[in-house]
Amino acid sequence: MKPTQEPHLQVVTFTDPGRGGRVNEDRFKINAYHLSENEDIPVLLAVVADGVGGHQAGEIAAEIAVDTVDRIISESDPEEPAWILKKALLEANHSITSRAEKELDKEGMGSTITCALVIDSSLYIASMGDSRIYLIRDGQIRQLTMDHTWVQEAIDSGVIQIDEARNHPRRHLIRSFLGSSDPIQPDLRLFLSNRETDEQAEANQGLPLIPQDLVLLCTDGLTDLVTDEEIFKEIERQSDQRQALEELGQLAMERGGYDNITAVLLQFPGEELYLT
């Protein structure tokens, strides 16, 4: 792909280490491309990663994650975008585990990751861990990803209710992340309904974006402390999207700010300029 300085989506970002002098273990990267030297079809990649809490050198793992995914995507011909995202996450996992094996002080480091790849008007996603992607459309907010946590598994199996999850003592127990010693399976599901099967969710890859759609990538430093409804209302209320993210970050800080907070907001333009 050919790099460009002109993304076809509006992009605003926010990151803050949180309270208590924490190291910011979150990392994000946004890059814009044209599909090739000969094709001006626009491509935007947004990646957000969160160094896994309690593990050594989480910020290094997160940086390796976003850099590796960006490199793999930039070097690829995205004829099969979902497959390329999967390849990128597998390569990021390998890079993190290889680094940890060579440097003992980085043993056990890991990172969550969530990626949005927009080719023209088509959205592809991949994730591991509990960083999330949301779609805001037609007066509603929808979580497109599924958390890979003990709490989510407990909700799915009926062990706990959704309203118990926010304050559950195991809410930060992540089941799947980059840097894991176990074999990983990047999640390519894109959920548009709670009733969808895994196969149906994967078939949603390439979701057509429509004018004024908003795609939000964020870490759990935000979603642990601010509800989906609050996120939606603040983004809808503010005409300045950067200010909206800052207000949401401030709200998380007021409620404890015990984790790093990162958010990336993408807006599809008012007119579909490059439809293929």
- Indicate the pLDDT class of residue 105, thresholds 50, 70 and 90: confident
Interval 206-210 mean pLDDT: 97
The whole-number pLDDT of residue 53 equals 55
pLDDT category of residue 272 using cuts at 50, 70 and 90: very low
User: What would the mean pLDDT of 51-63 be, rounded to a whole number?
Assistant: 82
**pLDDT at residue 146, as a whole number:** 92
- 241-262 burial, b at 16+ Cβ within 10 Å, e below that, comes to beebbbbbbebbbeeebbbbbb
Instruction: For tokens 């960006």, name the residue.
Output: 70
- Is residue 97 within 8 Å of 189, Cβ to Cβ? no
pTM for the full predicted model: 0.92
Lowest mean pLDDT of 7-21, 40-54, 169-183, 202-216, name the range: 169-183
Residue 182: band (very low, low, confident or very high) from pLDDT cuts 50, 70, 90: confident
> Do the beta carbons of residue 86 and residue 126 sit within 8 Å?
yes
Does 36 score more than 80 pLDDT? yes
Does the CA dihedral 85-91-97-102 come out positive or negative? Answer: negative
What CATH code is assigned to 2-267? 3.60.40.10
Give the residue carrying structure tokens 């907010």. 141
Identify the band that residue 158 occupies on the pLDDT scale cut at 50, 70 and 90: low
Q: Is the dihedral of CA 179, 182, 184, 189 positive or negative?
A: negative
HEC assignment per residue over the chain: CEEECCCCCEEEEEEECCCCCCCCCEEEEEEEEECCCCCCCEEEEEEEEEECCCCCCHHHHHHHHHHHHHHHHHCCCCCCHHHHHHHHHHHHHHHHHHHHHHCHHHCCCCEEEEEEEEECCEEEEEEECCCEEEEEECCEEEECCCCCEHHHHHHHCCCCCHHHHCCCCCCCCECCCECCCCCCCCECCCCCCCCCCHHHHHHCCCEECCCCCEEEEECHHHHCCCCHHHHHHHHHHCCCHHHHHHHHHHHHHHCCCCCCEEEEEEECCCCCCCCC
CA-CA-CA-CA dihedral for 237, 241, 246, 249, to nearest 10: 70
Going from N- to C-terminal start, the domains of the chain cover: 2-267
Distance separating the N- and C-terminal Cα atoms of the chain? 17
Report the percentage of the chain scoring pLDDT > 70: 87
Average pLDDT, the chain: 89
Residue predicted with more confidence, 175 or 109: 109
pLDDT > 60? residue 260: yes
By mean pLDDT, which of 99-103, 149-153, 225-229, 242-246 is the weakest?
149-153
Query: Which of 97-101, 107-111, 150-154, 189-193 is predicted least confidently?
Result: 150-154
Spatial separation of the C-alpha atoms in residues 44 and 64, rounded to whole Å: 19
Of 150-154, 172-176, 219-223, highest mean pLDDT: 219-223
Share of the chain above pLDDT 90, in %: 72
